[in-house]
Amino acid sequence: MALDVQKIRADFPILQRQVNGHPLVYLDNAATSQKPQVVIDAIVDYYSNYNANIHRGVHSLSQEATDVYEAARNKIQQHFGIQHAHEVIFTAGTTHGINLIASGFSSFLKKGNEIIVSALEHHSNIVPWQMLCERTGATLQVIPMKEDGTLDLSAYISLLSEKTKLVFVNHISNALGTINPIETIIQKAHEVGAAVLIDGAQACSHIKPDLAALDVDFYVTSAHKMCGPTGVGMLYGKEVWLKKLPPYQGGGEMIKEVSFEKTTYADLPHKFEAGTPNISGGIAFGAAIDYLNNIGFDAIEAHEKGLLEYATEQLLQIEGLRIYGTGVKKTSVISFNIEGIHPYDIGTIVDKLGIAVRTGHHCAQPIMDFYKIPGTVRASFAFYNTKEEVDRLVAAVSKAKQMLT
């Protein structure tokens, strides 16, 4: 079913504003998505009507807040096809979830072990593993990328061995839009007994992963790229792994009993949820999932595919423009440069025309080093974008080129 995009756009207050005297064209969705009114209302409703701490009070407000917060956990569980609600850990975001797992595996790794990441990773899925290797003596291996922005699977398979303990790959590249073959990556890792963590931050606004079907050990994502608020995210972990991992932080909520002699930890999921959480954020995360499911991910995928194809076709008509990331399987992200022009200069000019794009290395500097470029201009589309906005982008980039050459 085709989306009623104009009706959807009316749900997003920020899309009605102007920037630099022009109607806003927001094409930086890979950095963060915009928020529909229903998500904003969920935050306001919590603070206006039942603001209280959760899991800790017998009074009515605390019970009400607890019920709504845990209902959001159940929505996440159902949305991602997770077997048990206690396998859903609320986090501050994708980076928090990755660091939680990296910290926990410090207890299991030793010198001679190997962990594998891909060349397409965001810095948040590189730096924690480098730190883990420094702490444990393990070795970091990298799956190389190919010229079209896809991973070299044959090289990945050759890296796997009995020394491999962990594999970490993003589901979709934030810099290029490449959709990685995570089914194969997970299967091959499990054949050598390695655990797998998938960074789903860029994927979950575009597709609806079934984590039970994927048989993945860990999966992390952030609400703010799914039309939810910043400062909250989800870590999924198989129960068997979450029980083995030590707590990431100590404090309230994550304990069962505390004395000065000994502390015992709470059951899942609270073992990994120390302190007062982002309650309104968790509730709004649930509201965002409801909103996306009401639209439907099949319709979202089809609309965004149409935008990607149209924008690719139109941008390539600009002489000297090169798109990075040309694999067959990709989502609605276009990273490009124009020969002889710095991406920052293009981004600055199109911003003056009311168009928000991202410029730079997109926290994926190894990708830029591979292509021997300082960065790219990145236009990333969401289901509330239109072909008319693509036309404005193409006109603005053409004008920038004319001004800068």
For the stretch 141-186, pLDDT in tens is: 999 999 999 999 999 999 999 999 999 999 999 999 999 999 999 9
Q: Is the pLDDT of residue 58 over 90?
A: no
Q: Please, which pLDDT band fits residue 256 given cuts at 50, 70 and 90?
A: confident
Is residue 19 included in any domain, yes or no? Answer: yes
Last residue of a domain, one of 240, 266, 293: 293
Q: Which CATH number does the domain housing residue 85 bear? A: 3.40.640.10
321 and 200, same structural domain?
A: no
The structure tokens listed for 296 are: 């439907």
pLDDT score of 2: 82
Is 147 inside a domain boundary?
yes
Q: pLDDT tens digit string along 347-401? A: 999 999 999 999 999 989 999 999 999 999 999 999 999 999 999 999 999 999 9
Proportion of the chain above pLDDT 90, given as a percent: 90
Q: Please, which residues have CB within 8 angstroms of residue 136's CB and are 6 or more apart in sequence? A: 105, 106, 109, 110, 111, 113
Could you tell me the pLDDT band of residue 268, with boundaries at 50, 70 and 90?
Answer: confident
pLDDT computed for residue 284 by the predictor = 98
Predicted local confidence at residue 171, as pLDDT = 98
Residues 285 and 323 both lie in one domain: no
Q: What Å distances lie between residue 74 and 69, 70, 234, 245, 247, CA to CA?
A: 9, 6, 12, 23, 22
The answer on 232 and 90 residing in a single domain is yes
User: Mean per-residue pLDDT for 27-42?
Assistant: 98
For residue 112, being part of any structural domain is answered with yes
Per-residue pLDDT at 251 exceeds 90: no
pLDDT-derived band at 79, boundaries 50, 70, 90: very high
For residue 263, give the H/E element and its range: strand 263-265
Is the pLDDT confidence value at 264 over 80?
no
What pLDDT, on the 0 to 100 scale, is given for residue 338?
98
Catalytic residues: 363
Is 383 or 256 the better-scoring residue by pLDDT? 383
Residue 221: closest CA among 238, 207, 242, 204:
204
Q: Is the pLDDT of residue 121 over 90?
A: yes
Q: Are residues 95 and 118 in the same domain?
A: yes
Average pLDDT estimate for 274-286 = 95
Element (H, E) at 167: strand 164-170
pLDDT band for 282, please (50, 70, 90 cuts).
very high
The neighbour count for residue 215, using CB atoms within 10 Å, is 12
80 in a domain, yes or no?
A: yes
User: Residue 259: pLDDT above 80?
Assistant: no
In a domain, 35, yes or no: no
Claim to verify: residue 161 and residue 78 sit in the same structural domain:
yes
Name the average pLDDT for the chain: 95
Instruction: Check pLDDT > 90 for residue 125.
Output: no
Contact 226, 205 (CB under 8 A): yes
pLDDT, residue 340, reads 96
Contacts of 258 (CB under 8 A, 6+ apart): none
The total number of structural domains in the chain stands at 2
Looking at the structure, do residues 206 and 219 belong to the same domain, yes or no? yes
pLDDT attached to residue 262: 75
Q: Note whether 187 and 66 are same-domain residues.
A: yes
Identify the CATH number of the domain in which residue 374 sits.
3.90.1150.10
Domain interval for residue 209: 40-293
Examine the domain organization and report whether 237 and 365 are in the same domain: no
Residue finishing a domain among 244, 272, 293: 293
pLDDT tens by residue, 218-242: 999 999 999 999 999 999 999 999 9
> How many of the other CB atoms lie within 10 Å of CB of 103?
18
Distance, in Å, from the CA atom of 191 to the CA atom of 368, rounded to the nearest integer, reads 32
Q: Decide which of 293, 316, 350 is a domain's last residue.
A: 293
